[in-house]
Amino acid sequence: MDFKFLHLNKIYTVTIEKSDDAFKAIIDGTQYEVKDYSMQLNNLSFIFDEKFYTIYFAQDRGKMYLAFEGDYFFFERAEGVALRTQESAQQKGNSVNSPMPGLIVKISVAIGDHVKEGMTLAIVEAMKMQNELRAPRDGVVKKINFDEGDQVDALQVIVELEMEKF
């Protein structure tokens, strides 16, 4: 699979190839081989050059945020090139879920509020990054399962919606 990312105004070409029990990543011509990896909802752990690493990530509207070895990186799709992403759990159906474990820093709605698709309903902070959880469609807030300041696990439902009644 080929990807193109924009980081600090430079486009990087990344090719990912799977072979037997390893992945090979080629980033702008430099090859890296990763073995003994484990992929979770919001992180990738692996061994590279006999050292254990974990990369934490979050995606939002075509942008990717990575935390690695105490440094933070922001990437976005290169213009005209699609960034392959899976639509995150919080973007489906009648509920908005936390994409990763974190702290709820803001609930922007109340029960009974009418919301529009794309409106920010809550903000979850993880790894010093704030993830805006947006309404997957128009609707009415039916239930809020947490309060500001609560800790949540990945995929926990934060806000539930129902269809507007006319």
Model confidence pLDDT, tens digit, residues 22-67: 777 788 788 888 777 776 667 777 777 778 888 887 777 667 777 7
- Alpha-carbon distance 112 to 122, whole Å? 15
Q: What is the pLDDT of residues 115-141, one digit of tens each?
A: 998 899 999 988 777 888 888 888 899
- 3-class DSSP state of 38: strand
Say what the pLDDT of residue 62 is: 66
- Alpha-carbon distance 107 to 128, whole Å? 18
Residue 91 confidence class, pLDDT cut points 50, 70, 90: very low
Pairing mode of beta strands 63-68, 51-60: antiparallel
Q: What is the mean pLDDT of the chain?
A: 77
Amino acid at 39: M
- How do the domains of the chain map onto residue ranges? 2-77, 89-162
The mean-pLDDT minimum among 3-17, 105-119, 149-163 falls in 3-17
- Alpha-carbon distance 24 to 15, whole Å? 8
Which of 10-26 are b and which e, b meaning 16 or more Cβ less than 10 Å from the residue's Cβ?
A: eeeeeeeeeeeeebeee
- Does the pLDDT value for residue 155 go beyond 50? yes
Structure-block tokens of residue 54: 């974990």
Higher pLDDT, 89 or 128: 128
Say what the pLDDT of residue 83 is: 38
**What fold, for 89-162?**
OB fold (Dihydrolipoamide Acetyltransferase, E2P) (2.40.50)
- Does the pLDDT value for residue 68 go beyond 80? no
Higher pLDDT, 156 or 164: 156
Which listed CATH number (1.10.3210, 2.40.128, 2.60.120, 2.60.40) goes with 2-77? Answer: 2.40.128
Higher pLDDT, 86 or 57: 57
Q: What are phi and psi of 48, to 5 degrees?
A: -135, 130
Say what the pLDDT of residue 122 is: 93
